[in-house]
Amino acid sequence: MEPPRLAFAFALHAEVGAPIDVGETPRGRRRMVPIVGGRFEGPGLRGRVLPGGADWQLVHGDGTSELDSRYLLEVEQGGLISVRNRGLRRAAPDVMARLLAGEPVDPALVYFVTTPTFETGAADLQWLTRSLFIGTGRRQPRTVQIEFWKIG
């Protein structure tokens, strides 16, 4: 058997607002990061990230964050894509502290991988609902950049 192949699907650049810190919970430190806009583009696919989404994070003391984002994409040609993007982001505790404080961090120091699922009613976008994808991300102070790859 051969390992799965990856095909580039699209890159997303989401603009994010200031995190809202819910505080320490029995499961870890809960944060909500508003998604306020952005854009995406790939082969035959481009559009904007609609405001109103959010990333609900659970931050652990060992430098690992569980990510659970939900947001909407609007395609230029028409059509909406609902995204649920779960993942893990981890780094050494000192690097993660800088990242959570909104400081720029070298992306090479951070493991940031997601598993998105897509829903859409648009007939020409059904390929997004019929395959599995993986995302690789980078967090900057005011943006999140994720490249999505179709697993084939």
User: What is the CATH classification number for the domain harbouring 140?
Assistant: 2.40.160.20
Query: What pLDDT was estimated at residue 6?
Result: 97
Residue-range definition of the domain harbouring residue 141: 6-151
Q: Closest Cα to residue 130, out of 144, 151, 110, 147?
A: 151
Query: What pLDDT was estimated at residue 97?
Result: 85
Tell me if the pTM is above 0.75: yes
Q: What percentage of the chain exceeds 70 in pLDDT?
A: 100
The domain tally of the chain equals 1
Q: How far apart are CA 89 and CA 139, in angstroms?
A: 10
Place of tokens 């904007």: 48
Query: What pLDDT was estimated at residue 69?
Result: 98
Place of tokens 């696919």: 45
